[in-house]
Amino acid sequence: QVPLVESGGGLVQPGGSLRLDCAASGHIFSKNSIDTLGWYRQTPGKERELVADITRGGSRAYASFAEGRFTISVNDAMNKVFLQMSSLVPEDTAVYYCHAQSIWAVDYWGQGTQVTVSS
């Protein structure tokens, strides 16, 4: 079972927008067992870096490059997370990974979705 399934990646022109969705598996996560949901990204040769995350309490954290351009949100059940990205630039090209941390501090990752910003 894949714990997290991402969708919404693809090719977009500079200045464009894209939304990433991620759904947590109901087979792995019981009700109210997720504490934090978020998005990370990685490019070849670089470490995976935080893009944005949100806690069950509603606290949001954004990387400096995401501030003002990206918005993270979740559904009421806290089993889906969304990343709305706008004003995309080529430097945003990366594989984007969905991340969840359970209330027991166990980390889970999705398989990643490619975002390519290019004209």
Query: Are 62 and 41 spatial neighbours (Cβ–Cβ below 8 Å)?
Result: no
Enumerate residue ranges in the chain where pLDDT < 50: none
Q: Determine the pLDDT at residue 81.
A: 97
pLDDT recorded at residue 32: 87
Q: Which two tokens stand for residue 93?
A: 């090209």
Contact indicator for 107, 100 with CB cutoff of 8 Å: yes
Q: What is the pLDDT of residue 37?
A: 98
Find out whether 119 and 16 touch, Cβ atoms under 8 Å: no
Alpha-carbon span 99 to 96, nearest angstrom: 10
> Any idea of the CA torsion for 103, 59, 73, 68, to the nearest 10 degrees?
-140
How is residue 54 written in tokens?
A: 């949100």
Average pLDDT, the chain: 96
